[in-house]
Structure 1
Amino acid sequence: MSRAFGVIRQLGYVVPDITSAITHWVERLQVGPFFYIERQPVNHFVFRGEPSAPPQISVALAQAGPVQVELIQQRDDVPSAFREFTDAGHEGLQHVAYWTDAFDALVVRAGELGYTELQSGRSGSGRPDERFGYFTAGGHTGTVVEFSEVAGRKAALFDAVAAAAADWDGADPVRDMTTLVTR
């Protein structure tokens, strides 16, 4: 466990081709099922301190034991932490995420440890309990830290992804994420 922020709950990979990435994780690593959404809603997006149009991203989520795997493909050129990562020639692990019901306290803690905010917003429906923030203290590629407020619908989504993986027999490896968020 990280003494700074708690337990790492998610590994976030930024990839150039989400379909190929899903295939790799399913066929090579036997991780799944993946829950996919072609256009993940992002609201109240702020990048490097300035309100911005949100990037158009496709997202796929699966559970691998105690850790969620998130695959992200940005489909436009809107400035974001994902675009900066790929523009620098990187692909793969871009962030580790901590899930929290004490979002504001983690943001304060990050500042105390020298982190600065890269981007923030609200995922899904944009409700107040769906905040996220990406922070960096510089250093090694792939060490951006995300705080994801996990309550309400987002908590139910993450629980459903984990439950599906617990009983997964390899069938139906790619599923529609919207079937989980409408519950």
Structure 2
Amino acid sequence: MSRIFGQINQIGYVVRDLHAVMEHWVAQGVGPWFYMDPVVTDYVRYRGADSGMKMAAAVANSGDIQIELIQPLNDEPSLYKDFLDAGREGAQHVAYWTADYQELYDRALSLGYTVAQEGAIQGGRFAYLDTETHPGTVIEISDVGGAKGEVFAALRDLAAGWDGNDPIREFG
């Protein structure tokens, strides 16, 4: 538990082949997976500038922890592209969820964190804090005060009762 951010709710992986990685996780017994290709964003800003970044994403739960897979779909600037361009693939961020996004966002900035990438999906804001200069994983904060929180809770509940059938499902 972080006294600043709370509990980790999600581990995010940046991958080159979303479907192959979903299949890998299914073989480990994690699912069902819900994917969107492409994800429609309201906006994305990378290091303060608008970005036309496109991505596919998938989520599944392992208990209370959500696993997110992100595959960049173009060469527009993003932390995901940076991660792959650096020769990495795999765990890229941990996410903390909050129903009071603006309060957590302002608190993080007041503590000296800077925003490397931010955006919104269907009004739900998210920000990746610039922690790349320190060894470790990027920190994401995400607004779950509205519909996104309800969807994530429903997906967690579906995973808890999953019988192994229909392991990969298109979302949306």
Superposed pair shares fold, TM > 0.5: yes
The whole-number CA distance in structure 1 between the counterparts of 2:15 and 2:76 is: 16
Quote the sequence identity (%): 44
Question: Which residue of 1 is the match for residue 6 of structure 2?
Answer: 6
1:70 to 68, 71, 74: 68
Residue identity matched to 2:165: A
Structure 1 segments (4+ residues) deviating >3 Å: none
The C-alpha deviation readout for 1:80-100, integer Å capped at 9, x for no partner, is 010111111111011000111
Which structure 1 residue ranges, 5 or more long, are not aligned? 179-183
TM-score normalised to structure 1 length? 0.89
How many pairs does the alignment contain?
A: 171
Question: Which residue of 2 is the match for residue 140 of structure 1?
Answer: 135
What is the aligned-residue RMSD (CA, Å)? 1.2
Matched residue SS, 2:43: strand
Q: Are the equivalent residues in 1 in contact too, given 2:100–2:145 (CA < 8 A)?
A: no
Question: Which residue of 2 is the match for residue 169 of structure 1?
Answer: 163
Matched residue SS, 2:56: strand
Question: Which residue of 1 is the match for residue 143 of structure 2?
Answer: 149
Question: Which residue of 2 is the match for residue 39 of structure 1?
Answer: 38
Question: Which residue of 2 is the match for residue 79 of structure 1?
Answer: 77
The alignment status of 1:131 with 2:125, answered yes or no, reads yes
Question: Which residue of 1 is the match for residue 29 of structure 2?
Answer: 30
The whole-number CA distance in structure 2 between the counterparts of 1:16 and 1:44 is: 22
Q: Are the equivalent residues in 1 in contact too, given 2:51–2:78 (CA < 8 A)?
A: no
Residue identity matched to 1:117: V
The whole-number CA distance in structure 1 between the counterparts of 2:86 and 2:36 is: 25
TM-score normalised to structure 2 length? 0.95
The whole-number CA distance in structure 1 between the counterparts of 2:55 and 2:45 is: 15
Question: Which residue of 2 is the match for residue 61 of structure 1?
Answer: 59
Residue identity matched to 1:145: I
The whole-number CA distance in structure 1 between the counterparts of 2:165 and 2:43 is: 37
The whole-number CA distance in structure 2 between the counterparts of 1:136 and 1:68 is: 22
The alignment status of 1:107 with 2:102, answered yes or no, reads no
The C-alpha deviation readout for 1:83-139, integer Å capped at 9, x for no partner, is 11111111101100011111122122222333210111111x2x2xx1111102321
